[in-house]
Structures are given as C-alpha cells and as structure tokens.
Chain A
C-alpha cells in the first residue's frame, strides 16, 4: 500500500516536470548576470579560470558559508560519536603497506598541484583538498599509528580563521569583505603569483578540507 502511494506521488511529480520541459530551452542564449562575469573576470580579479573568480570573489560569501558547513559537519560527527575509543588495527596488509610508501607522496603532490593552480586551471581548493584527503585516508588503513587529533584540529581552526582574516584584510583596507583588487596587487594573468589573495585563500581551503575529511572518516571508524 505504501509503495503504491510512493510510486503514484513520483509519477505525478514526474508528469509535472515533463510538462515543464517546454520552458527550458536547452542551449539557448539567455540574458543574465553571467555575461558580465565572462567579460570582466580577468580585469577585476586577474584569474584565468572564471569559475574561480565567481567562487572566491563575486560570490565569496557563499564559499565562506560552505567552508563553515564542512567544519560544522566535522564537529557534528565528533559530537555524535563522543566518548568512543579508537580501534587499533591488529594486522595490516603487506601489499597496501608497501604501495602506500610509493603512492602517498605522489597523491600529496598531485593534490597540492591542483589547489595551488586553482586560478589557472580547472580545480581549486575543494578538489585539491579531496585528493589530499584520499592520501591521508590511505594512511589510516595501513600504518598502525593513531591520527593526531589535537594537531589537526589546531591546523583546521587555523586555516578557517585565516580565510576570515584574509577577507577581513579586504574589509579594513578597502571597505568590503573579500575585496581583491587593492589588497595584494593583481599581477600578470596566467602567472602562478597573480590574482591577489585568491591563491592564498585556496591554499587555506585546500589544507582545511583535506584534514577535515580525514578527521571525519577517522571519527566514523571509531568503535
């Protein structure tokens, strides 16, 4: 009975969505704010990746909210599994132990490359952070050591605070939170050292996301 009602609701919703497809013209040119972003991103922010300029400058406040949400979920999971002990691995697999020693530096290098070049190529802080987290999580399953929670909580808090401080520097010097044009100078487009404070923010975000995701998995692993 319940399944029948569920299927009925889904079919009705699907029918309305199908009828609304007339209003979505696939690929048509629309008017919107994005034409300004496309033509002025380089002159306003000095980045070569327009999506980065939107994520970090034009809609930077949303990125601050997003960093907060990830931080929030790490705290929430820590609160829900409070009081549990870590399970220590009794035996580890020989294949993973050996390949870990080769893979871990390569994964870290790739992750750092992705978030360091966020303003030049596709990628950025969140993607690079996820790659770093993969490498660190590999460490969790192999090497028989504990995850140093205190040190990594301190580093997470420090990265989050540095994001807010970089934005506040814009507030003090230019009168707007996260303003970019006057704080550090824009440099020449397509150089590594360009685009003002954007690479610095991405470094902070990348490290924060990497440590946070590993902390989440470590918490979920507890007994």
Chain B
C-alpha cells in the first residue's frame, strides 16, 4: 500500500538549493560556507530518519510535475532504500563536520559546493524510480567525484583523477547505450513499467542489455577487470573524500546493479553466474594486493575492492538469507571504512605520503583516533563483539547451508590475508617512538570517532537494524511494488 509523501524530494532539493544559494553568497561572505553546508547536511540526516520511520510500514512515492508514472517521473522509497538513505546522510554529516577541521587551505568554498552536490546526487540515486533519472544523478555523482579527487592539485592526485575520469566516462557511455537499447525495446523509462513490459523482450536482447549494464555499472562499483582506477583515486584524494568515495560512491554502482537485476531482469541465470564469479575474483585480488602495500590509504583502497567482492558474492549467492547477510556486510563496510579513513587521515594529516610509518605510536599520541582505527579494522576482519562478526558469520552460515565448501574456503583465505595486514597496522599503532605530538585533535572530531566506534560496537552486540528480512523482500519484490504505483487511483 504505497503512500504519497514529499520527504524524498526534500532530501535531494535541500543540498541542491543550498549549493546555488551559497554560490551566490560566496562572492561576498566566504566564511559562512563551511558551517552552512554542515547545517544543511545535518538537516538532511534528520529528514532521512523521519522518512525511515515512515517506510517501515509503507513504501513512499513522490510524483513530480503532477503526473503519475509512467507519464511523469516518480521517486520511490521502500524499506531497502530507506536504510541506505539514513546511512548515506549519517556519513554526510560526519564528513562535513570533519572537513571543517581538515580542509584548511586551497579551494575551500569549491570543496563544500562539490560535497553538497555529491550528496544531492547520491540521495537522488537512492530514491529514484526512473532509469534515465538514475543516469542523470549517477553523472552528478561521478563528475563531482572526479573534481573532488583532483582538488588538492598535487601531482599524483591529478594523475589519479584523470585516469578515474577516463575510465568512469567509458562506464557512463556503456550505461547510456544500454538505456538506449532498453528504451528501443520497451518504449518507457519508468522502472515499474519496464518490469511489467520486460516479458515481451527477446532473451538475446536481454543478455545484450545485461552485458552493457553490468560493464557500465561494474566500472563504478569496482568489479575485477574494471577497477584499475580505484587504488589510485581513493588513495590520492583528501582523506574525507577517500571516505566518501569508498563508503558511498562504489555502493552507488552496486545499488544500480541490484536495481537492474531485481527490477529489470528478474531471474536470468547466466547473469547470476558472471556476477558471482566476478565477486570471488575481486575479493581475492583485492585482499592479495592490499597485503603488499606500505601506504595506508592505498591499502585501505584495495581492501575496499576486496570487501566489495565479498558483498557482491553474498548478494548474488542465491538465497534470501545470503542477501540479508550481504546487506549487513555492506552497511558494516560503509561504517568501518569511513571510520578507518577519517581517523587515519587525521593522524597522517601533515604528511604527504600517507606511509604506514606515520602511524607509529599513534595510540599514545591520539588515543581516540587510534581506537577508531583498531575498531574499524576489527570490524572488517570479523572479530566478535563488532558488527562485522555478525555479518560475516551470516555469510559463512548461508554458504554452508547451501553446501558450498569452495566458496567458504576462499572467503576464509581472504579473511586471513585481511587479518594479517590489519594486525600489521594495529601493531604499528603501539610502537613507542619519541616524536613529539605536533598537533591535537579537536574535540568535535574526536566526537565523530566516538560516535562511529559506539555504533559499530552497539550493533555488534545488538545487531538489529529493523526488519532486515522485510527490506530484502522489498528488494526482491521491487518490480511488483513499483508497478503498484502505476495503478494508484488518480
């Protein structure tokens, strides 16, 4: 029973309108831009919590321009997107607050505009119900990501940003060709309507459209042969941007893959196998290369690819409980990776090379940030009492009940390699060194770390994010739910 409510619209419009407004005022008062951006993202977080409370009972839709879908565009939020929207805006508030202290020089105002527009774009991806609208918001996300990677204007950031731009725009081209093919076969652009009309399309055409969408979205979500841009881009960006890219941008690509698979394709077995295999390979390659790194942020970037492979593996594993586990692992990765990048980034703030040696003795100099790194690492490894333990155990149990011993052993090998390099990092934190503390971490930044630490630990002991089974069933039935919107009485 879908309900009409305007909250998803405000989530997109608020950062957008404030970016225009602040750009107008930027010529006169430069100083208020950071604080106002933080307030806007905070208000966004507040609206997302209210929206989440509503979608626990009924999905929400918004009709734009006064026309019902499929004539107009509509936004659609069910339990699944509602959870994402809350986590996205939580990360938004944290990064905005962190940036107030971390970004002190250079193109400050432009950084905040790009950040606001990035969040407008990713909120748009999470709530949209129309495929060309998805493409437009996906482009907003990508272009602001390209500009944010290159914003420091250092030699290596520019190279990383340029390679990211070239590979990302190939991905967008493939996605646009896929949308063109799809439109020529079904004649409509609304997701619910496409789901209804997809049965008239030929199987070979479905495979071709599937290949285009998977390659296009796979470049953004870093599946194996398509992720050569990721280590450079995530390691050479400023730390708050690395957190945003690793925590949010790759998940946008994954969300697109899920939408495409469950709403448009239905079940088509060859697609399932390709994504499953890609997930396994990505996980192994990512963890293996992460072990070989000496640069903290590059190591975390490879770890992001490895975790992404694990999540794709769980989502396309075949059973509902595996999908629930995949969703939990995804949320865990978003929280832990953001915590790792933010805390480590602040400790390594004044260094140019983010080398692991910069972390030595951090536990004695910056205790709260060091505990942040430790908890984030433990959660990604899957140590008990953290949220990562619960999600990883659910994945392993899901595969064991399907009897798939190969996959379980591969996941355990990857987790072992992960454990080795994270323990290397944790050991460095406790080295005694005689460097004097050059700066103190401000109180508000420490509060961000404490918030994330508490969130991971509390979820580890009491892992209930609402009706998670219900959310995954929402995703599986999205085609039915979205087509219900088409039948709403005018």
Direct A–B touching, Cβ under 8 Å: yes
Q: Which of B71, B106, B111, B137 contacts A36 (CB 8 A)?
A: B71
Indicate whether B443 reaches chain A with its CB closer than 8 angstroms: no
Q: How close is A9's CB to chain B, nearest CB, in angstroms? A: 12
Also in contact, A164 and B17, with CB within 8 A (given A72-B117, A82-B110):
yes
Say yes or no for B120: interface residue by CB 8 A criterion. Answer: yes
Tally of A-B Cβ pairs under 8 angstroms: 157
Chain A residues near B73 (CB, 8 Å)?
58-59, 61-62
A31→B73 CA distance, assembly (Å): 19
Considering residues A31, A79, A161, A180, which has the most beta carbons from chain B within 10 angstroms of its beta carbon? A79
Q: Is the CB of A68 within 8 A of B114?
A: no
Instruction: Determine the chain B residues whose CB is within 8 A of the CB of A57 once the complex forms.
Output: 65, 67
- B474 on interface, CB distance cutoff 8 Å: no
Contact residues of A between 1 and 57, Cβ < 8 Å to B:
16, 20, 23-24, 30-34, 36-37, 44, 57
Contact indicator A33/B188 (Cβ below 8 Å): yes
Say which one of B147-155, B278-286, B327-335, B344-352 lies at the interface with A. B147-155
A80, B106: Cα distance in complex, Å = 10
Interface string of B93-132 (1 = CB under 8 A from A): 0000000000000110011011001001000100000001
- Contact in complex: B136, A69 (CB < 8 Å): yes
A160 to chain B, nearest CB (A): 4
A123 on the B face (CB < 8 A): no
Interface residues of A in 74-103 (CB under 8 A from B): 75-76, 78-80, 82-83
B27 and A177 contact, CB distance less than 8 A? no
The answer to whether B114 and A153 touch across the interface, beta carbons within 8 angstroms, is no
Q: Are A58 and B146 in contact (CB under 8 A)?
A: no
Would you give the shortest CB distance from B61 to chain A, in whole angstroms? 12
Q: Are B66 and A174 in contact (CB under 8 A)?
A: yes
Task: Specify the main secondary structure of chain B where it touches its partner.
Answer: helix
CB distance from A59 to the nearest CB of B (A): 6
Shortest Cβ distance from B128 into A: residue: A61
A144 at the interface (CB under 8 A from B): no
Q: What would 16 more interface pairs be, CB under 8 Å, given A16-B208, A76-B110, A170-B66?
A: A31-B187, A33-B190, A69-B140, A75-B23, A76-B114, A76-B146, A79-B114, A83-B107, A157-B20, A157-B22, A157-B25, A160-B20, A164-B13, A174-B66, A176-B67, A178-B65
Return the contact of B27 from the options A76, A153, A174, A175 (Cβ within 8 A). A153
CB pair B9 A75 closer than 8 Å: no
* Contact between A75 and B147, CB atoms less than 8 A apart: yes
Q: Which of B24, B65, B120, B193 contacts A177 (CB 8 A)?
A: B65
Query: Which bucket holds chain B's interface residue count?
Result: 35 or more
Question: In the assembled complex, how far is the CB of residue A73 from the closest CB belonging to chain B, in whole angstroms?
Answer: 6
Determine whether B64 belongs to the interface, using a CB cutoff of 8 Å to chain A.
yes
Q: How far is the CB of B164 from chain A (nearest CB, A)?
A: 13
Bound complex: CA A32 to CA B197 (Å): 10
Contact in complex: B205, A80 (CB < 8 Å): no
List A contacts of B435 (CB < 8 A): none
Q: Are B147 and A72 in contact (CB-based, < 8 A)?
A: yes
The residue in A73, A75, A78 that gathers the most chain B C-beta atoms within 10 A of its C-beta is A75
CB pair B187–A177 under 8 Å, yes or no, is: no
Known A-B contacts A69-B143, A78-B107, A82-B110; A181 and B23 likewise in contact (beta carbons under 8 Å): no
A181 nearest in chain B by CB position:
B66
Residues of B within 8 A of A23 (CB): 184-185, 202, 204-205
Are B16 and A58 in contact (CB-based, < 8 A)?
no
Q: Which of B17, B22, B67 has the most CB of A within 10 A?
A: B67
Instruction: Check: A193 CB closer than 8 A to any chain B CB.
Output: no
- Interface status of B463 (Cβ within 8 A of chain A): no
Q: Can you sample 25 A-B contacts with CB below 8 Å?
A: A20-B205, A59-B72, A59-B73, A61-B73, A65-B124, A65-B133, A65-B140, A66-B136, A69-B136, A71-B23, A71-B117, A72-B117, A73-B143, A76-B143, A79-B111, A79-B114, A82-B153, A83-B107, A153-B26, A161-B21, A164-B17, A176-B66, A177-B65, A179-B66, A180-B65
**Interface contact B147-A76, CB-CB below 8 Å:** yes
Say yes or no: A58 contacts B114, CB within 8 Å. no
In Å, the complex CA distance between A180 and B188 comes to 23
**B1-31: which residues lie under 8 A (CB-CB) from chain A?**
6, 9, 13, 16-17, 19-27
Q: How far is the CA of A25 from the CA of B191 in the complex (A)?
A: 24
Minimum CB–CB distance for B65 against chain A, Å: 4
Q: How far is the CB of A80 from chain B (nearest CB, A)?
A: 6
Q: Kindly list chain B residues whose C-beta atoms are within 8 Å of the C-beta of A80.
A: 147, 150-151, 153
Q: Chain A contacts of B188 at CB under 8 A?
A: 32-33
- Partner pick for A62 among B23, B133, B186, CB 8 A cutoff: B133
What residues on A are CB-neighbors of B107 within 8 Å? Answer: 78-79, 82-83
In the assembled complex, B63 has its CB within 8 A of some CB on chain A: yes
Q: Which residues from chain A contact B64 at a C-beta distance below 8 Å?
A: 60-61, 176-178
- The docked-state distance in angstroms from the alpha carbon of A72 to that of B27 is 17
Does B318 interact with chain A (Cβ within 8 Å)? no
Contacts known (A150-B27, A153-B26, A164-B16); A176 close to B65, Cβ less than 8 A: yes
Q: Is residue B222 contacting chain A, with contact meaning CB distance below 8 A?
A: no
Q: Which of A61, A149, A154, A177 is B133 in contact with, Cβ under 8 Å?
A: A61
Q: Are A60 and B65 in contact (CB under 8 A)?
A: yes
- B140 neighbours in A (Cβ, 8 Å): 65, 68-69, 72
Tell me if B139 is interfacial: C-beta within 8 Å of chain A: yes
| Contact, CB under 8 Å: A59 / B26 | no
- The complex places the Cα of A79 from the Cα of B237 at a distance, in Å, of 14
Q: Does B377 make an interface contact (CB < 8 A)?
A: no
The yes or no answer to B358 lying at the interface (CB within 8 A) is no
The 9 closest A-B pairs by CB, nearest first: A32-B187, A76-B147, A157-B24, A79-B110, A65-B136, A179-B66, A176-B66, A160-B20, A82-B107
B189 close to chain A: CB less than 8 A: yes
Residues on B with C-beta less than 8 A from A78 are: 107, 110
Do B16 and A62 touch (CB < 8 A)? no
Interface pair A179/B151, CB less than 8 Å apart: no
CB proximity to A under 8 Å, residues B147-192: 147, 150-151, 153, 181, 184-190
**A64 is an interface residue with CB less than 8 A from chain B:** yes
Name, among B23, B26, B153, the residue most crowded by chain A CB atoms within 10 Å (CB to CB). Answer: B23
Picked from A20, A33, A60, A79, the residue with its CB within 8 Å of the CB of B71 is: A33
**Contact flag A82-B106 (CB < 8 Å), given A68-B16, A161-B17:** yes
